[in-house]
A and B are shown apart, each in its own frame.
Chain A
Amino acid sequence: MNPEKPLIRVRALGKRFGEGCIRCKGVTDPEAASNRCPRCGTIHALSGVSFDVYPNEALGVVGESGSGKSTLVRLLHFEWTADRGSFHIHRRAVTGPMTETFFNGDEYSYNLLDISPFQKRQIRNALMGIVYQNPNLGLRMQVSSGGNIAERLIAAGFRRIGTMRERAGGLLEKTEIPVARMDEAPSRFSGGMQQRVQIAKALSNNPLILFLDEVTTGLDLSVQARVLDLIRSLKDELKLSMLVVSHDLGVIRLLCQRTLVMKSGCVVESGLTDQILEDPQHRYTQLLVSSRL
């Protein structure tokens, strides 16, 4: 196993949509047919998910639609508020004045789910990047591609146009977008190009952790391959840790060393990706692997 300490540590993360009732307990089990309580209609999107992500590791999250994969990403990216659980980052992830705010003497930070929205924004701007399935969520379509990248840089404290443009140009080059098109809006780009602009934007603040939410879904196969190649090379070049959410086992096999299998808001199996794909233990994982095209 990895001798290093995990970069982020998530424990017993829970999120429900609805009031909840006494009968809800029955549906927070992965073996239950559905994660919707038949009595009060509450959806238990996540019921106590725990995992670690190590430095420069890509952790895969697979599961059918509705299993809570995207909820997981949205909670960790602070877009939604978790009901319970904890989310800690390792001290080495944070430098500068932020250390005082988020750490006491311990190796790990305070529970990041409890900090103020302003502080969450600070953490997100300094440490996180995200790439959504739908580029409309991650990009401002009417603002130039360079501007999209600059927005993140501005949020991270950059105040010099020259520096920002240089950096945006470099990132676009890395993601194979012609720098000459930097001042064009992404709405004029193809789907694959938009996705690559999104990746450039996500990487602009040198994140430590990158969330990929179904990044290749909806792209044609040749474009998929190029985007995946790009992500793989950037991961090693920039020493990224990634949380890769996908329902496509091919993507997971290509990018991730370790994988969680989710069903009905619970982790039903976790381990090395190869092991899970070659020798699935849980009934649901077996079904998932065997139904691969």
Chain B
Amino acid sequence: MRMSEWLTTHLEKNDDHRNLGYPFGFMDEGAKREIRRAVLKAVAIPGYQVPYGSREMPIARGWGTGGLQITLSLVTPEDVLKVIDQGCDDSVNAVNIKTFVAKVAGIPVTTDTVMASLIQTRHRIPEEPMSRDQILVLQVPYPEALREVEPSEAETRRMHAEADYARMWLYLYEDIVRFGEITISYRYPVTVNGRYIMDPSPIPRWDVPKLHRAETLFLFGAGREKRIYAVPPHTDVVPLEFEDHLFRVEDFSDKFCARCGATDTFLDEIIDSENGGRTYFCSDTGYCAKRSVS
């Protein structure tokens, strides 16, 4: 059965949504179809940025409209949604998006990574490994990984087409020569499927290895820049590194979460404004809460 037929039959059952004055999932069917097509193309060419017609959303561009449009075009009445912002389930932006999607699709929300079927995120990948039945939608501010070295869009497209990536590597070389190591802390460029260099969105380096040969489908949406790209399950995602200067993640040795005691998670540093003391907390609040309870 086709997705549209399935949705139509399902919508007829959910009469309450038909009376709200907008279609299921807020966007009209034509818009959703276009975005799904862009997503399919992105999955077919891992790491390639597919242009699409970014729609006007009830939140401003730059606040997650790219991720939101993917979420709305994929959501089904059986989904369970989780939305996080820098790992946090309770930030204003995450709560707003979560409430909005829950309302226009009539679906339940959760803060538990394992319970969710669809997760929209800003700048983090959840700590708990995700399964093949889940989809992670990442919000992307700057989809072009080469923008740092080349301001022209026409030129970066040519560079991608010809796999002309020497300048990106040169940027890393210069970093190493000047500072002794690569200083990119987030938005670390990766090679996807041995072909395209891709911006993994501003996730910390900690999260980059999670993209490599994962079980889950990762979808990246940039609403302002009008691009969608994807990392399908079991795809090679390799951070740019030199043989004698390997990629490494953030070092949290000797540090632990003050709340749940975790030593194996990405930690946020909190500085006490009165005595200058440093404490650390899990950036992934859902995971931290789960561990604190058990």
Contacts and interface: CB of A to CB of B under 8 A. Distances in A.
A161 B174 contact: no
Interface string A126-168: 0000000000000010011011001110110001111011000
B163 A154 contact: no
B114 to A, nearest CB: 39
Nearest to B176: A161
B48 to A, nearest CB: 15
Nearest to B162: A118
Contact of B166 (A154, A161, A183): A154
A117 B164 CA distance: 10
A121 interface: yes
Given A144-B174, A146-B177, A121 B242 contact: no
Nearest to A160: B243
B162 A147 contact: no
A165 B170 CA distance: 12
Given A117-B162, A118-B163, A121-B164, A147 B242 contact: no
A256 B182 CA distance: 45
A151 B167 CA distance: 7
A117 B163 CA distance: 10
B163 A147 contact: no
Contacts of A159: 242-243
Given A160-B243, A161-B242, A147 B166 contact: no
Nearest to B167: A151
Nearest to A150: B173
Considering residues B164, B170, B244, which has the most beta carbons from chain A within 10 angstroms of its beta carbon? Answer: B170
Given A159-B242, A161-B245, A147 B177 contact: yes
Contacts of B22: none
B252 interface: no
Interface in B53-77: none
A67 B256 CA distance: 72
Interface string B160-190: 0111101101100110111000000000000
A25 B176 CA distance: 57
B156 to A, nearest CB: 15
Most chain B C-beta atoms within 10 Å of own C-beta, residue among A117, A161, A162, A183: A161
B170 A143 contact: yes
A254 to B, nearest CB: 33
B260 to A, nearest CB: 39
| Interface hub of B164, B169, B174, B176 (most chain A Cβ within 10 A) | B174
Contacts of B244: 160-162
Contacts of A147: 170, 173-174, 177
7 contacts: A117-B161, A121-B164, A146-B177, A147-B173, A151-B170, A161-B173, A162-B244
Interface of B: 158, 161-164, 166-167, 169-170, 173-174, 176-178, 242-245
